[in-house]
Amino acid sequence: MLAPIVAALALLAAPPTPKAVEPITAAAVVARYDALMSPPAFEATMVMIARREDGTERSYTLKSQKLGTDKLRATFLAPANAKGQEMLRLDDTLYSYLPNLKRAVRVASRDSFMGGDFNNGDVLRVNYTADYTPTLMPSPDGTCASLEARGPQVAYDRIELCLTTGPIDTAQPTSARYFAKSGKLLRSAVFSDVKNFGSVVRPGTIVMKNEVQHQRQSTMRWDSFEVKADISSQRFVVEDLGR
């Protein structure tokens, strides 16, 4: 009778078997990035500071709203000569609304965003899960993936994206490099200032360095970022721009 009791007590005293850690996949890296940087519905206030070749800087303040994976609207609040200008992503088409013309014109993902070093696609089309095919890549800098473009509608042909090491559900973006189809490095980004915005913890600043014109770089800073349950779809139609 004593032997079974001793065996049972030994099992109770034994430390629990550690749970196996699931390996991180390339798809999980991209999904984590999208969830932090462009959740399904949000409102945000941002400031972009663009430093040009001559050392001068230009600052833009804008409000951004997103719904789903294919609708995003950005409204410029400052400076005065840009106030009222808007940009809209609707499905695969990007529009720029010019108040003085009172009409919207189509623009490309690869065009410069307000003359800075972010492209329109960097701001209006963050959906790496849909737009890129990822593979894990070895790196001493963190958990990294190489992203190959699935089509011509995106801002870059290949991206090298790195997150912090550790569990994927707590990882944060740290850096990225953006390439042309030829393999030429076009831009590099550093993500910093991770902060709690209330509804999400994520980087509050991206510095985008121009790797072609080295005197240029742009900084995007989020002053507010609120994940929403929903936003009216009426905000994301061309006819509503300027209203």
Residue 95's beta-bridge partner residues?
88, 106
* CB contact set of 239 (below 8 Å; sequence gap of 6+): none
Read off the pTM.
0.88
Burial of 29-66, coded b for 16+ CB within 10 Å and e otherwise, reads: bbebbbebbbbeebebebbbebbbeeeeeeebbbebbb
194/153: higher pLDDT = 194
- Domains along the chain with CATH numbers: 41-240 (2.50.20.10)
Q: State pLDDT tens for residues 217-236.
A: 999 999 999 999 999 999 99
Query: Which of helix, strand or coil describes residue 195?
Result: strand
Q: State pLDDT tens for residues 39-94.
A: 999 999 999 999 998 889 999 999 999 999 999 999 999 999 999 999 999 988 99
Query: pLDDT at position 194, please?
Result: 98
